[in-house]
Structure 1
Amino acid sequence: MKTLISRTAAALVLACGVAGGAATVFAHGDVVPQAVDTSALKQIGKDWLTTNPYRKDPKAIEIGASAFNQNCARCHGLGAVSGGIAPDLRYLPLGDEGDEYYTNRVINGSIRDGVTYMPKFDGVLSQEALWAIRAWLETVAEP
């Protein structure tokens, strides 16, 4: 009887550990934005531009791809292919129209009913980093 209780207790501990581990794996939680090195790009300054100065710039696209993977992919998916947490950014409009939507979201974030769906990135990542991400997004755009 004592052995049966010990085995049952061990199984219960193991089950709790697996369940607790699964919760950790699937938890989103708070994340710290990762710094983006934009020293290789022409510096823009603090005043937000209305159109992307780095459109089709190969260095900006390279920096933007890395910056996206470090700061955006956890919600918007690797390659900007959303897994359902946040919008699939491959379908943003291209050019100036998409730039307007993009800047509104990255500057102001998205809060509905007091719930933050996307944090504000203005002041967290530089304008250069955010435009580099936008330059990369246009390279993975879907029609």
Structure 2
Amino acid sequence: MNNKNVLRALLAAGVFGMAGLVLAHGDVTPQKVETTGLPDLGDEWLDENPFRGDSEYHDRAVEIGASAYNQNCARCHGLEAISGGIAPDLRMLEPTIDGDDWFKERVINGAVRDGAVYMPRMADYLSQEALWAIRTYIESVAPQE
């Protein structure tokens, strides 16, 4: 084999190797979240985060939300909710009903642009309790003013 053929073979192996890594990214279906310790919130979506602030469930929601966020959100929104710029930095959401409105809109309807799914409809996969726990975790790591 001459040097050109060896170089071509190495280049082809590299390209196919990288393609294998991309295909090996894995299943991006949201992972189930165990919400034991949180109250059942029912099927009707609440308008405001029930675990915020003085809620007796706040600490448990942060604990569950941290795990759920890392399993389902971190790959796009960043570790510890610190965005790398690909997806919105969720720590910047207002910790009020206004931020809750935006959060609900996204987790219920997802984000689709020009037919491309940027974020799945997480409410199709995760319970209201799990999603509000994620919101509670995000608020717990947001920069304090």
Q: TM-score range by the shorter chain?
A: 0.7 to 0.9
* Number of aligned positions between the proteins: 139
C-alpha deviations, 1:107-136, integer Å up to 9, x for none?
111112222121111221000100000000
Q: Which amino acid in structure 2 is aligned with residue 39 of structure 1?
A: T
In structure 2, C-alpha distance between the alignment counterparts of 1:103 and 1:139, rounded to whole Å: 18
Higher Cα radius of gyration: 1
Q: Does 2:48 align with 1:51?
A: yes
- Residue 21 of structure 1, CA deviation: 3.1
Task: Name the residue aligned to 1:140.
Answer: 141
Higher alpha-carbon deviation: 129-138 or 85-94: 85-94
* Map of 1:72 onto structure 2: 73
Query: Which runs of 5 or more structure 2 residues have no equivalent in the other structure?
Result: none
Q: 1:93–1:19: structure 2 CA closer, same or farther, 3 Å change rule?
A: same
* Structure 1 residue aligned with 2:108: 107
| 1:12 is the counterpart of 2:8 | yes
Deviation at 1:43, TM superposition (A): 1.2
Letter in 1 for 2:37: A
Identity level (%):
52
Q: CA deviation at 1:12?
A: 2.9
Tell me if 1:92 matches 2:75: no
The change in CA–CA distance for 1:30 and 1:86 in structure 2 (over 3 A counts) is farther
Q: Does 1:38 align with 2:46?
A: no
For residues 116-131 of structure 1, what are the structure 2 equivalents within 5 Å? 116-131=117-132
State the distance in 2 between where 1:48 and 1:10 align.
Answer: 61
Q: CA deviation at 1:19?
A: 3.0
CA distance in structure 2 between the partners assigned to 1:21 and 1:48 by the alignment = 45
Q: Which moved more, 1:91-100 or 1:9-18?
A: 9-18
After TM superposition, the score normalised by the length of structure 2 is: 0.84
SS at 1:111 equivalent: strand
* Change in 2 beyond 3 A, CA 1:81/1:22: farther
Give ranges in structure 1 of 5+ residues lacking alignment.
none
| Structure 1 letter corresponding to 2:42 | G
* TM-score relative to the length of structure 1: 0.85
- For the residues of structure 2 that align with 1:62 and 1:69, how far apart are their CA atoms? 11
